[in-house]
Amino acid sequence: MASQLTARPQDIPLENLYNLLEPITVAPTKAIFTNWAKTFICAPASVFEPENEFQCELVLELARREGKVVRVAAVGHSPSDLACTKEFMLRTTKLNRVLEVNTEKRYVVAQGGITLNDLHQHLEKNNLAMSNLGSISDQSLAGVVSTATHGSGINYGVISTHVMALSLLLADGSRVTCSRNERPELFMASLCGLGATGIILNVQLEVEPNFRLKEVQKSLPFEEFIQQFDTLAHSSEHSRFWWFPTKDTIRCSYSNRTLEENRPSGSWWWNTLFGYHIVQLLLFVGRYFPIVTIWTSNLACWLSSGESVGIDDSYKIFNVDCRYPQYTTEWAIPYENSQACLRDIRTYLQKQLQDPSGVRPHFPVEIRFSAADDIWMSPSYGRLTCWIGIVQYKPYGFNVAYRKLFNAFEEAFIRYQGRPHWAKTHPFGPEKLRQTYPHFDDFVNVIDSVDPQKMFRNEYIQRHIMGQSIDQRIFKKPA
Ligand SMILES: Cc1cc2nc3c(=O)[nH]c(=O)nc-3n(C[C@H](O)[C@H](O)[C@H](O)COP(=O)(O)OP(=O)(O)OC[C@H]3O[C@@H](n4cnc5c(N)ncnc54)[C@H](O)[C@@H]3O)c2cc1C
């Protein structure tokens, strides 16, 4: 066995390869994968949980010999079937170590499977922090990079813009490093690579000195918000907005770096009992009596209506409570089109609310920003971006109607040159993607050159990037 651990994977006899993989093979009873939102489910032929890079190489070797697809999946927070496969799944949850922290040059090197929550703890100990974050920190670092996950801030790019270098395990078993200077094409493809360029082993990430954020929240009528849109978007380092359509009210959040002492806002009673449990119960009742959904949205709007100020560690302010499993769609709209797009959506929603059998949206519609970047497949490629996202919650995990509502939103997003969030469900295939991403063909060329065997092309990649006709619902969780 010792000699096999030093042998090249391609020299290991098949029987021995199976033996070596056995300890990291997940038992079939535990091998079902469901995403966080409980909207997609798959039963891969085999699921592996490697603890080191050599074991990753062994998985790829077996896949090569058996002609299998390998989908890397991390913690499964993508709301689509992006992480699903019927073939081999390689889960990175045990590849979660911090390898280097450089406080002087302000960067960290960590394995791709580390969660942002764990990364924050390591950074904090070294008086460092990530510059921007999305709504949660449960995702893995490589998952966030592979989907160009974003936070909010008119001068802040998607999280991938902070990546300095990546180390990848390619389909042929070779380990390579890429950055803006070394294999730049592979780097630009992998910064939003959707798991299709290789396994991200390590990420070198630029960070900044640890900081606190002071967040001021207040509410505004929609009309006032839309008239002052540009000023409000630019009025803090991290402005973001939550729109409660039933009350035509926008909850505004403005966050800036501060040296003031911690002063967390909110109370358990308010946030947990009312904000979480009672709202969930009402959303559940709304499945049967749609009028209740409107009252629930109004209640949620009222619960957060006063002005509030909170000061806390940056990641605690960046992150919010995303509540219950949910259907969601989110699109990146060119900033200059966003006001018109929001007005169109409002007209649609008002019509629906006046119609006794109209669709009943949950809340809130989220509005955020990211700076233009040069990452080939980043939805912010080449343009200042306004992200608009909606959710329909699944109270207690039960399904709710959402398709009609999402179709109407998607039509508006497409009219205003939107690009879909890669981790969320969307209808775009290669034709549309080629029109909106100038480097789409470069991306496909990189995938072809580093993965000629098509090992990393799961159903999502085949459908959306390669244009094969694979049903959107293939992994949809049954009602
Ligand atoms: C509650 C919630 C809140 C969210 N908030 C935001 C938000 O604020 N902003 C935003 O932009 N998005 C947000 N998302 C989406 C989320 O950030 C992305 O879906 C992210 O990719 C999830 O990371 P993950 O670790 O769960 O990856 P998974 O969902 O497991 O995988 C995502 C992709 O990354 C690839 N991948 C993962 N690890 C590797 C690796 N080591 N090597 C190569 N490829 C890899 C997978 O193949 C797949 O293509 C949210 C999702 C949820 C559920």
Please report the pLDDT score of residue 267 as a whole number. 57
Predicted confidence (pLDDT) at residue 269 exceeds the cutoff of 70? no
Q: Residue ranges of the alpha helices (H) in 128-221?
A: 141-146, 184-190
Closest CA relative to residue 5, chosen from 47, 46, 57, 49: 57
Positive or negative: CA dihedral 276, 277, 279, 283 = positive
Region 205-221 average pLDDT: 97
Q: Is 72 helix (H, G, I), strand (E, B) or coil?
A: strand
Predicted confidence (pLDDT) at residue 266 exceeds the cutoff of 80? no
Q: Could you give the CA distance from residue 163 to residue 157 in angstroms, rounded to a whole number? A: 11
DSSP labels, 228-247: THHHHHTSSTEEEEEEEGGG
Please report the pLDDT score of residue 303 as a whole number. 85
Ranges 2-11, 60-69, 270-279, 395-404, most confident = 60-69
146 Cβ inside 6 Å of ligand 1: yes
Which residue has its alpha carbon closest to ligand 1 atom 7? 134
Residue whose token pair is 């009992």: 273
For 40, what's the count of Cα atoms within 13 Å in the CB-facing half-sphere?
Answer: 26
The answer to whether residues 467 and 431 touch, using CB atoms and an 8 Å cutoff, is yes
Query: Over the stretch 44-74, which tens digit does the pLDDT of each residue have?
Result: 999 999 999 999 999 999 999 999 999 999 9
The answer to whether residues 328 and 366 touch, using CB atoms and an 8 Å cutoff, is no
Give me the count of residues in the chain. 479
Q: Is 405 helix (H, G, I), strand (E, B) or coil?
A: helix
Query: Over the stretch 364-373, which tens digit does the pLDDT of each residue have?
Result: 999 999 999 9
Q: Residue ranges of the alpha helices (H) in 392-462?
A: 403-415, 430-436, 440-450, 459-460
Q: Could you give the CA distance from residue 155 to residue 237 in angstroms, rounded to a whole number? A: 7
Please report the pLDDT score of residue 468 as a whole number. 97
Region 120-143 average pLDDT: 98
Domains of the chain: 98-209 (3.30.465.10), 212-420 (3.40.462.10)
200 Cβ inside 6 Å of ligand 1: yes
Which residue has its alpha carbon closest to ligand 1 atom 12? 149
Please report the pLDDT score of residue 268 as a whole number. 54
Q: Could you give the CA distance from residue 285 to residue 287 in angstroms, rounded to a whole number? A: 5
Best residue among 60, 96, 133, 139 to mutate for probing ligand 1, ranked by most atoms within 8 Å of CB: 139
Q: Which atom of ligand 1 is nearest to the CA of 148?
A: 11
Could you tell me the distance, in angstroms and rounded to a whole number, from the CA of residue 391 to the centre of ligand 1?
17
What values do phi and psi take at 214, rounded to 5?
-105, 120
Query: Over the stretch 310-335, which tens digit does the pLDDT of each residue have?
Result: 999 999 999 998 889 999 999 999 99
Query: Over the stretch 95-120, which tens digit does the pLDDT of each residue have?
Result: 999 999 999 999 999 999 999 999 99
Closest CA relative to residue 157, chosen from 106, 193, 191, 198: 191
Q: Band of the pLDDT at 275, cuts 50, 70, 90?
A: confident
457 Cβ inside 6 Å of ligand 1: no
Could you tell me the distance, in angstroms and rounded to a whole number, from the CA of residue 194 to the centre of ligand 1?
9
168 Cβ inside 6 Å of ligand 1: no
Whole-structure pTM value: 0.96
150 Cβ inside 6 Å of ligand 1: yes
Please report the pLDDT score of residue 264 as a whole number. 83
Positive or negative: CA dihedral 246, 411, 380, 170 = positive
Q: Could you give the CA distance from residue 255 to residue 236 in angstroms, rounded to a whole number? A: 6
449 token code pair:
């050159």
Region 1-23 average pLDDT: 85
Query: For the chain, what is the mean pLDDT?
Result: 95
> C-alpha angle with apex 239: 236 to 241, nearest 5 degrees?
150
Closest CA relative to residue 329, chosen from 395, 385, 382, 408: 408
Predicted confidence (pLDDT) at residue 85 exceeds the cutoff of 90? yes
Best residue among 140, 152, 391 to mutate for probing ligand 1, ranked by most atoms within 8 Å of CB: 140
Please report the pLDDT score of residue 398 as a whole number. 93
